[in-house]
Amino acid sequence: MAHRDGLSWTFTHAITRTPSDSVANGLRAVDAGNPSGEAFRAEHAAYVEALRAAGLTVDVLPPLEDYPDSCFVEDPAFCLPNGAILLRPGADSRKGEVSEIRSALEARFDRVVELPGTGHVDGGDVLMLDDEILIGLSARTDREGAMAFAMLLGDWGYNARVADTPEGVLHFKTACSTLGDGVILATQAMVDSGFFGDRKVVVVQEGEEYAANVIRVNDVVLVPEGYPKTLSAIEGAGFRTVVLPTHEARKVDGGLSCLSLRFALA
């Protein structure tokens, strides 16, 4: 696809979902204690306010107690200016989230389609850049799903590339983000992978790997609280930042990008 300036960071709308009390039962790779639904909702409210302050219209969906991880709306769907794609999460406990978010997407998009085939893709494994879309293989995204997704994106006019997520990384975007303007934020493991070629990369310092997951939203970069070296590196690269607490989300392997579907509508 041709370079589409701002595709990966210029947005008008977002969809989020309020965390439920059942988030205490959410999936996690390491047990760091159960998140508090009340505390998570306070952090989520600050997140929504930051999106609105950046100029977005934000749809806030109600909590789903039957789906502990459902506040991470990025995983069951993927949005582009010309439509939304319902994905197929790799964790069995999350598959029902797809039907739950369909109506919110149909309220905003004329075209909403399902991922073809039977493979799995989590939205957290999909990194959108201005000239290509990277799909990382992981424990949640298999090759069958990634290839079907790449073919669908190709039909829609986008270049997509399937990549191997480094070992020990839950989701591709756990370890990298786009800062926009051709700049990537990534952990050293991601840099060493060679996925990003000759693109400019801001490297996350050792010990602050969680901070690799940020989101550029129009003129600001939202950054998790508590990672001063990464914050300084992003600002040193010329980006304006807003720091947000993500302490509860981190307990269930969540980050800033997971908490919203961001897209631009004409």
Tally of CB atoms within 10 A around 4: 15
DSSP-derived 3-state class of residue 4: coil
Each residue of 138-155: pLDDT tens digit? 999 999 999 999 999 999
List, in order, residues 6 or more apart from 16 with CB less than 8 Å away: 44, 47, 48, 51, 58, 59, 60, 61, 71, 73, 259, 260, 261
pLDDT above 90 for 31: no
Q: What is the sign, positive or negative, of the torsion defined by CA atoms of 27, 76, 54, 218?
A: positive
Domain count, the chain: 1
CA 39, CA 246: separation in Å to the nearest integer? Answer: 10
| Residues 230 and 204 sit within 8 Å (Cβ to Cβ) | yes
DSSP secondary structure string for all residues of 235-253: HHTT--EEEE--HHHHTTT
Q: Residue 30 — pLDDT band, cuts 50, 70, 90?
A: confident
Q: What is the DSSP letter of 130?
A: S
- Phi/psi at 137 (5° precision): -75, 140
pLDDT above 70 for 37: yes
Q: Residue 228 — pLDDT band, cuts 50, 70, 90?
A: very high
Would you say residue 230 lies in a domain? no
| pLDDT attached to residue 103 | 98
Q: Residue 12 — pLDDT band, cuts 50, 70, 90?
A: very high
Each residue of 42-79: pLDDT tens digit? 999 999 999 999 999 999 999 999 999 999 999 999 99
Q: Give the H/E segment covering residue 52.
A: helix 37-53
Q: Residue 234 — pLDDT band, cuts 50, 70, 90?
A: very high
Strand partners, 13: 57, 263
Would you say residue 233 lies in a domain? no
**Residue ranges making up the domain that contains 71:** 13-168+245-263
Would you say residue 213 lies in a domain? no
Which residues does the annotation mark as catalytic?
Answer: 171, 258
Would you say residue 200 lies in a domain? no
CA 158, CA 156: separation in Å to the nearest integer? Answer: 6
Would you say residue 178 lies in a domain? no
Amino acid at 96: G
Would you say residue 219 lies in a domain? no
CATH number of the CATH domain containing 154: 3.75.10.10
Would you say residue 220 lies in a domain? no
**9-33 average pLDDT score:** 94
Largest Cα separation within the chain, whole Å, is 45
| pLDDT attached to residue 187 | 97
| Residues 111 and 82 sit within 8 Å (Cβ to Cβ) | yes
State how far the alpha carbon of 49 is from the alpha carbons of 14, 52, 253, in Å.
Answer: 12, 5, 22
CA 61, CA 42: separation in Å to the nearest integer? Answer: 15
pTM of the predicted model as reported, rounded to 2 decimal places: 0.96
Would you say residue 144 lies in a domain? yes
| pLDDT attached to residue 1 | 61
